[in-house]
Amino acid sequence: MVERIAYDEFGLFAENAAEFGLPYPGPPTVRRVSVEVTGGRRVSALVWGERPAELVLVHGGAQNAHTWDTVAMALGRPLVAVDLPTHGHSDDAGPLADGELRVDSLAADVAIAVRALAPEARAVVGMSLGGMTSICLADQAPDLVRKLVLVDVTPGVNAEKAKAITDFVNGPATFADFDAILARTIEHNPTRTVSSLRRGILHNAIQLEDGSWVWRHQRFSRPDAGSGGTRQARPRADQAVLWDRLGAVTAPVMLVRGMRPQSVVDDADEAELLRRLPGARVEHVAEAGHSVQGDTPVELAALIETFVFG
């Protein structure tokens, strides 16, 4: 008999609070919604709170909106956390001739979702792929990006810098059981606690009928898409174009950079950001790697709070 692991999408918040020492008067007000985008596809999102959203949070590649749960709880503000197309509970990104996701198309879908769910948000916070998408969002729809927070990403991030991450993402297509997917996740995420990684898997993977597990983003794998059949999400404009787009952002910008070896941002990236945007704010988080929202969510929430709301 196959052992089924119970999963309640909104039943893990008490664990988030306990792990990071946050007060927990009871479950936060969170609901899942979806917005129709081009081609009849739907982008899913988590809406936190009942008042108009003050923030938009955009996750990284192979993640989902729940990566922000502890940050959202620490902030205590109404916000929207988006599932990028092909990720989380969102639909596929639609047909692409080359089998790759493009940040421009992701940004176009996110723009529709933000206009529907958070048109007056004070800032957009994007981590990794979500940060690159947010740069393109600022280019396509500057009225939606009043302030921009980039979490451990700049256009200078390349395949070499991100190799450890892509090696993890391009791993096995399925896992025989939960212990197998947890073991691989622990191996590739040395800065995270086992309890947080377990929660992350429950939010970001699906148990199949035979008891095996598959990442949610691999639901949309294509046999001709390269490594493991998984559609690759990468910026299909060259770095110069993306740097130019970031340099043209008129909204205030903050880069939050993890300083542990797992970070993908280096000193040259930071220097180029400041050359193009001399007024940008840069914050170093000593105990975070690439996943600042997972490693040090309370510290990240405090940085967002002061930058966006003063």
pLDDT at residue number 219: 76
Whether 238 is a known active-site residue: answer no
Q: What is the largest CA-CA distance in the chain?
A: 61
Residues with Cβ within 8 Å of residue 131, at least 6 apart in sequence: 58, 60, 150, 151, 152, 153, 154
Of the residues 91, 109, 139, 152, only one is catalytic, namely: 152
Residue 213 belongs to a domain: no
Within-domain flag for 189 = no
What is the reported pTM?
0.94
Average confidence (pLDDT) over 236-240? 69
Choosing from 90, 105, 128, 134, which is the catalytic residue? Answer: 128
Q: What is the CATH number of the domain that holds 142?
A: 3.40.50.1820
Is pLDDT of 253 > 80? Answer: yes
pLDDT 10s digits, 116-164: 999 999 999 999 999 999 999 999 999 999 999 999 999 999 989 999 9
266 falls within a domain: yes
Instruction: Kindly provide the residue ranges of all beta strands, DSSP E only, lying in the chain, ordered along the sequence.
Output: 30-36, 42-48, 55-58, 79-82, 100-101, 123-127, 148-151, 205-207, 213-215, 232-233, 253-258, 281-285
Both tokens assigned to 304:
């967002």
* Mean pLDDT within 197-202: 97
Verify whether residue 152 is a known catalytic residue.
yes
User: Nearest-5° angle of CA 126, CA 241, CA 266?
Assistant: 55
Decide if 69 is catalytic.
Answer: no
Catalytic residue among 87, 89, 217, 290: 290
Q: Domains in the chain: how many in total?
A: 1
The residue segments making up the domain with residue 284 are 13-158+232-309
Instruction: Please check whether residue 7 lies inside any domain of the structure.
Output: no
Q: How confident is the model at residue 94 (pLDDT cuts 50, 70, 90)?
A: confident
